Amino acid sequence: MAGPSHYIMPRPSFDKPVKLLVVASPYYKDIYDMQVAGAVAEIEAAGATYELIDVTGALEIPTSIAIAERMSNFDGYVALGCVIRGATTHYDTVCNDSSRALQMMGLQGICIGNGILTVENHDQAVERADPAQMNKGAGAAAAALHLIATSRKWGRPDKGIGFTSEILLAQGGKSTA
């Protein structure tokens, strides 16, 4: 019996260059290799460029993205990792905290494709990571690309997120700019 069919949106196109940062954890190196291959193929197919950095684990992925967002010039981010359930509750902490951190950054307007796999066993991870199967690395890259396209469609260069020095000054605050 076949499972449900999933719709895949057409790849977005861009009139200006797109640069992504792929932040990946090689904790499970075979899964990492498949996820990165899928993400890179999707990024390149969209005509975008990327940099790849490795971090120790899934909890370090959101922190690395936050650092890059503050200190660099990427249009978006692809988070790749894998958390396989073990014998302790550490699995729940890593899954929940990494996902929550990525979601909070996304709600602030940062374009992030979340490809951190949360699975019960290695076989499930392979099925999801393998480019010939579910190809979740490509899916995370596609999500980031679609978010970038959305932000470019509606974004204005003069419209920031959060407080700007002009708003603070209008409210009697001091500008540090």
Task: Tell me which residue of 176, 163, 39 sits closest to 108, measured CA to CA.
Answer: 163
Given 6, 90, 122, 146, the catalytic residue:
90
Contact 140, 106 (CB under 8 A): no
3-state DSSP percent of the chain in helix, strand and coil, to 5:
45, 15, 40
Beta bridge pairs of residue 119: 84
122 tagged catalytic: no
Query: Cβ-count burial of 10 within 10 angstroms (0-12 exposed, 13-18 middle, 19+ buried)?
Result: exposed
Catalytic residues: 90
